[in-house]
A and B are shown apart, each in its own frame.
Chain A
Amino acid sequence: MLMYLCRRIAAIVPVVLIVGVLVFLMLRLTPGDPAAVIAGNSASSEDIAQIRSQLGLDQPIAAQFFIWAGKMVVGDFGESFFYKKTVASLIVDRLEPTLALAVLTIILATVISVPLGALAAYRQGSWVDRVVMGFSVLGFSAPVFVIGYLLIYVFSVKLGWFPVQGYQRLSDGFGGFIYRLILPSITLSIVYIALLARMTRTSVLEVLNEDYVRTARSKGLSSMKVLVRHALRNAAVPIVTVIGVSIALLISGVVVTESVFNIPGLGRLTVDAVLARDYPTVQAVVLLFSLTYVVINLTIDLLYLVLDPRIRY
């Protein structure tokens, strides 16, 4: 077990290394010059060359990589070309909105989808099942920005219940913070609700045919207790896996929603940084995302141990 943990943690190193090399190379191999972006339209080629040497971009790629990697190892993410701030402070600034949105979304998605999916499985073939599954198909197929604009139109423009756009920091009050996050989270959660409800239904259906569910019924338990205590718990492993993957997808996939609702999060930062050829920022953000993936996957695998006592590493 401890050995397994050490092995898994050690495996993070090559992942980060490979991602680092790839993102570094990819940025430099795509057309576009950060110096030109910074210098603006009216700059002369001498100005651009000067900026290039300031940024260290006139050095060979290998040298640039080792300078960057050397700094990363000691925790120095460098300075953004574009924002004139350290990348670390940029990320810290943008982390809160993204994290808040992701966490609220996943809570919302889980709380809604798991009971719905379990109910659909329990009442397989009934109207409840059909409605849930119908919604699931709809939720899958509607693009996020369509749902977003639709919700804004109905709830903000027409009904006036929620603000159209914007974000309030947690430090400026919890009420406003949550209030402004509700529409974006609902928007973002629709597809995950669809996915998770479907997943829950499938795995609960499978478990409902198991012998121990029959045993539970032969004890005289009510349907509810059989469903929650015996079926759902056993169906949990695939559900938790999908929730975990959803979190990972969410954190890197909030770009559209952040744009629609004008939330200054990591997704927006990534898009802006790519457009501005802001190499240090893009590199740091991508690395952060990949690290999150690895950590979430590890967490899921460890959760299996809690959920199913038969699993031993």
Chain B
Amino acid sequence: MNAPVLDVRNLRIRLPAGGDRAYAVNDVSFTVSPGEVVCLVGESGSGKSVISFSVMGLLAKALEIESGGIALQGENLVGASEARLRALRCTRMGMIFQEPMTALNPVMRCGAQIDEVLREHTDLSASMRKTRVLEMIRQVRLPDPERMYTSFPHQLSGGQRQRVMIAMALILEPALLIADEPTTALDVTTQAQILKLIKEMQQTKGAGVLFITHDFGVVAEIADRVIVLKHGSLVEMGGATEVLMRPQQAYTRMLIDAVPAHDPPARQPIAETEPFALRTVDLAKSYNTISLLGRKRSVAAASEVNIEIRRGQTLGIVGESGSGKSTVARCIARLIDPSEGRVLIGGKDFASARLDQLHAMRRKVQVIFQDPYRSLSPRRTVGASIIEGPMNYGIGREEAMQRARKLLDILRLEPSALDRYPHEFSGGQRQRICIARALAMEPELLIADEAVSALDVSVQAQVLRLLEEIRHSLNLAVLFITHDLRVAAQVCDLVAVMCKGRVVEYGSAMQIFTAPQHEYTRALLDAAPGRHFAFAQAGAAA
């Protein structure tokens, strides 16, 4: 076997005093060989990103490598001078990041950003550099290289931006590519393409890849070897199939079990006699702009959306970004005004309700948003956030508090949480608080807009279970918006697949996931990472 590209030995990185643990990374050793993809897997806070940044020499100032070694092609990087590290970056180790939206400089043209690498590390002339950059843009399969060269990042899609990042990281053919959750922010179909590209580039250039991810689907898709981390320590390391199929450690098994299975479980059908909690009739939302010459341009974000949810039923809307699924959710909650159509909630039209009528109706529809870190006011106690809604509808303070305590109990949070502030809670706890806040209004329809997307798999599984319990016990109608097909398969009775503002397929979860009719649905299902890997079953069998 070849000498490793990257050799990390007994790496220990200290956290600043006052953290929840002493070390961000504690005694971790592993290697990456040329032409190999090694996945670092773990939940948030496991130290996987810290390791990647320490290799690049980009650790935050507060973090310090206490002991251990990092060798890149035999050269020790711990304690290397800043100048030496700079010279190595992009020439022998390149890195791509999670957020292609923010990882590129918004005021610099893409070509110039790739070119900067050549300007910094080579003596090539301007015209030679340009040829090289254009060639690289072509290699990462970006359309119309000349146009890409002069485009600004905001003019490109997320996938295109990530390709630009890859071009930038690989243009000097580094021996090591570090990919820090490079596809997490992308749609499934785009994700599949980017994963393919990384694999391809790695094979043609023979680079070693250190791939950081939290997603076992992605691991199944791309990894040669897997390293599982927990709280900064190495839990398990081994060949990809071995770890995925026969995990040795309980923690690894728990993580793999928590990945929702691809096929929907059998669900009890909801009785036809249950009244409709929500019906939309030809719901549409379009945005109009008037151009310079007075030409009207209308962009339809959603059109002809007809969906129905009975009480006690969960309808999932799945689709990629820009498919209009969030627009539909916002129209239903009247956070934005629909342009056309009706939204019938309890028989009354929500879409055309006047502002004074709206107040009374708002209570019936409650939304849980994606980011639990930003959807609670940081300067109010949890209790104040929960009781604000009910009190706004004339319920006394004492009674509202009573209700809040009961809800916290249902959501398995301590009653003392009421007097604490959101920053004292973890992501999963915060999302449960958000659910409590929504339920405190005693809604008839609960809209969960990517409500579990920001959570780790184990926490995600927990929150999903809770949502199921609540739906069952309160006979609640749930509108579940998600881009994650696995999640949708697990919790939905009905599924609507949206593409470019339209519902392209609508039916029971069982039918959509096992016998998709529409071409787009099939493409979506095919693109899901780890599609051919039966997670939940593998875990259960082991």
State yes or no: do A and B come from one complex: yes
A residues at B contact (CB < 8 Å): 1-3, 210-212, 214-222, 225, 229-230, 233-234, 307-310
- Nearest residue (CB) in A for B121 is A220
Contact with A along B80-100 (1 / 0, CB 8 A): 000001111111001101010
**Interface check B165, CB cutoff 8 A:** yes
Chain B 131-165 near chain A by CB (<8 Å), digits 1 or 0: 00000000000000000000010100000000001
* Across-interface contacts of B292 in A (CB, < 8 A): 1-3
Q: Is B399 an interface residue (CB 8 A)?
A: no
Whole-angstrom CA separation of A45 from B56 in the bound complex: 88
- In the bound complex, residues from chain A placing their C-beta under 8 Å from that of B514 are none
Residues of A within 8 A of B165 (CB): 215
- Does B392 reach chain A (CB closer than 8 Å)? no
A222 and B104 contact, CB distance less than 8 A = no
For the complex of A and B, 9 pairs with smallest distance between CB atoms: A220-B89, A211-B102, A212-B105, A220-B86, A309-B152, A211-B103, A218-B95, A215-B103, A310-B154
Interface size bracket, B side: 20 to 34
**B540 interface hit (Cβ, 8 Å):** no
Knowing A1-B292, A219-B168, A220-B120, the reply to whether A212 touches B89 (Cβ < 8 A) is no
Chain B residue numbers with a CB within 8 Å of A218 are 56, 58, 89-90, 94-95, 169
Closest Cβ of chain A to B290, distance in Å, is 9
Interface contact B58-A219, CB-CB below 8 Å = no
Are B89 and A216 in touch, CB under 8 angstroms? no
Q: Is the CB of B105 within 8 A of A221?
A: no
Please name the residue on chain B nearest to A309 by beta carbon: B152
CB-defined contacts of A2 to chain B, threshold 8 Å: 292
Q: Shortest distance in angstroms between B52's beta carbon and chain A's nearest beta carbon?
A: 10
Give the shortest distance, in Å, between A225 (CB) and chain B (any CB): 8
A76 to B292, CA, bound (A): 36
A95 to B120 alpha-carbon distance, docked (Å): 48
User: From residue A266, how far is it (CB to closest CB) to chain B in Å?
Assistant: 37
B154 touches A309 (CB 8 A): yes
Inter-subunit contact B97/A214 (CB<8 Å): yes
Chain A residues within an 8 Å CB radius of B108 = 229-230, 233
B378: A residues at CB distance < 8 A: none
Closest residue on chain B to residue A4 by CB atoms = B292
Residue of A nearest to B92 (CB): A220
**A253→B165 CA distance, assembly (Å):** 49
Name the contact of B106 in the complex, choosing from A217, A221, A310 (C-beta under 8 A). A310
Point out the residue from B87, B104, B152, B169 that lies within 8 Å of A212, measured CB to CB.
B104
20 more contacts with CB within 8 A, not counting A218-B95, A219-B89, A220-B120, are A3-B292, A211-B97, A211-B102, A212-B102, A212-B105, A215-B103, A218-B56, A219-B116, A219-B168, A220-B85, A220-B89, A220-B121, A221-B86, A221-B116, A225-B120, A230-B108, A234-B107, A307-B107, A308-B106, A310-B152
Is B105 in contact with A220, judged by CB distance below 8 angstroms? Answer: no
Q: Complex Cα distance A215/B88, Å?
A: 14
Contacts of B99 in A (CB 8 A): 211
A256 to B85, CA, bound (A): 54
User: B152 contacts which chain A residues (CB < 8 A)?
Assistant: 309-310
Number of inter-chain CB pairs below 8 Å: 74
Smallest distance from the beta carbon of B213 to chain A beta carbons, Å?
18
A233 to B86, CA, bound (A): 22
Interface string of B517-535 (1 = CB under 8 A from A): 0000000000000000000
Q: Complex: how many Å from CA A3 to CA B152?
A: 24
Please, how many angstroms separate the alpha-carbon atoms of A59 and B104 in the complex? 67
B28 at the binding interface (Cβ < 8 Å) = no
State how many angstroms separate the Cβ of A85 from the closest Cβ of chain B: 46
* Pairs across A and B, CB under 8 Å, 6 listed: A215-B105, A216-B105, A218-B56, A218-B90, A219-B116, A234-B106
Chain B contacts for A220, CB-based, 8 A? 85-91, 117, 120-121
Name the residue of chain B whose CB is nearest to the CB of A218: B95
Q: How long is the Cα–Cα vector from A308 to B154 in the complex, in angstroms?
A: 11
Report B-chain residues with C-beta under 8 Å of the C-beta of A221.
Answer: 86, 116, 120
Cβ A309 vs Cβ B97 within 8 A: no
Other-chain contact of A233, B103, B107, B120, B169 (Cβ < 8 Å)? B107
Chain A residue nearest to B91 (CB atoms) is A220
Please name all residues of chain B whose beta carbon is closer than 8 Å to the beta carbon of A216 when the two chains form the complex. Answer: 105, 116
The chain B residue sitting closest to A220, CB to CB, is B89
When distances are taken between beta carbons in the complex, the residues of chain B under 8 Å from A234 are: 105-107
Q: How far is the CA of A211 from the CA of B103 in the complex (A)?
A: 5
Task: Please report which residues of chain B, range 106-140, place their CB below 8 angstroms from some CB of chain A when the two chains form the complex.
Answer: 106-108, 116-117, 120-121
Query: Which residues on A sit within 8 Å (CB–CB) of B154?
Result: 309-310
**CB-based contact A219/B107 at 8 Å:** no
B 479-514 contacts with A by CB, 8 A: none
The smallest C-beta distance from A304 to any residue of chain B, in angstroms, reads 11
List chain A residues, Cβ under 8 A from B102. 210-212
Indicate the member of A215, A222, A233, A307 with the most B CB atoms within 10 Å: A215
Q: Contacts A218-B89, A219-B89: A212 and B116 contacting too (C-beta < 8 A)?
A: no
Nearest B residue to A234 by beta-carbon distance? B107
Residues on B with C-beta less than 8 A from A217 are: 58, 89
CB A313 to nearest CB in B, in angstroms, measures: 10
Which of B56, B85, B104, B105 has the most A CB atoms < 10 Å from its CB?
B105
- Complex partner residue of B90 from A212, A219, A233, A309, CB under 8 angstroms: A219
Let me know if A308 and B91 touch, CB within 8 A: no
Which A residues are in CB contact (< 8 Å) with B94? Answer: 218
State in angstroms the CA–CA spacing of A308 and B91 once bound together: 30
* A308 to B, closest residue via Cβ: B107
Cα distance A308–B94 in the bound complex, in angstroms? 28
* Complex Cα gap A3–B292 (Å): 6
Q: Closest residue to A230 on the B side, CB-wise? A: B105
The answer to whether B97 and A215 have CB atoms under 8 Å apart is yes
CB nearest to A221 among chain B residues:
B120
User: CB-defined interface of B273-317 with A at 8 Å, one 1/0 digit per residue?
Assistant: 000000000000000000010000000000000000000000000
Instruction: Specify which chain A residues have a CB less than 8 angstroms from the CB of B117 in the assembled complex.
Output: 219-220
Smallest Cβ-Cβ distance to B293: which chain A residue: A3
A221 to B105, CA, bound (A): 14
Kindly list chain B residues whose C-beta atoms are within 8 Å of the C-beta of A310. Answer: 106, 152, 154
Question: What residues on B are CB-neighbors of A1 within 8 Å?
Answer: 292
Query: How far apart are the CA atoms of A215 and B56 in the complex, in Å?
Result: 11
In the bound assembly, the distance between CA atoms of A214 and B96 in angstroms comes to: 10
**Minimal beta-carbon separation of B209 from chain A (angstroms):** 15
How many Å lie between the Cα of A234 and that of B165 in the bound state? 19
Chain A residue contacts of B95, Cβ below 8 A: 218
